[in-house]
Amino acid sequence: MYFVQRRITMDGIKKTQQGTLKVSEDVIETIIRLAVKDTEGVASLQAPAVDIKKMIFSKYEKSDAIKVKLAGDSVQIDVSVAAKYGYKISALGESLQERIKNDVQSMTGVMVSRINVTVANLVFETAEENK
């Protein structure tokens, strides 16, 4: 019996018998975007509030609602969202964490070590959106 050993090393690189497979942070970010979109109670991605000095004097991008950091054989994720009014925010955050973890690990093989979810805004539905 022959076993192929697979393991993720630094920076999301999987070494196999055939060679290596690198999972980029952009791929992980796309998986997170889809998980956010498919999570009930989440209105959208929402960049966290930032100090005005940081915006002026650094390379801060206003749309930066997802941060992915590959470290060793795992990934750390920060995601900031807007929640729909009427949903329990703590349950929504836990549901989003679980969905992101499952999706990233199953699609990439990279272990998720930490997911920080920030609910940066609350969105109210208007009468027109209910029609």
Class (C level, CATH) for 7-121: alpha beta
pLDDT at 18: 85
pLDDT at 86 over 70: yes
Q: Look up the pTM and report it.
A: 0.77
**Amino acid letter, 13:** I
> What tokens appear for 121 in the block?
């805004």
pLDDT band at 6 (very low <50, low <70, confident <90, very high): very low
- Angle, nearest 10°, between helix axes 25-37 and 89-108? 140
pLDDT at 49 over 90: no
**Once rounded to an integer, what is the mean pLDDT over residues 11-39?**
86
Could you state, in order of their start, the residue ranges of all structural domains in the chain?
A: 7-121
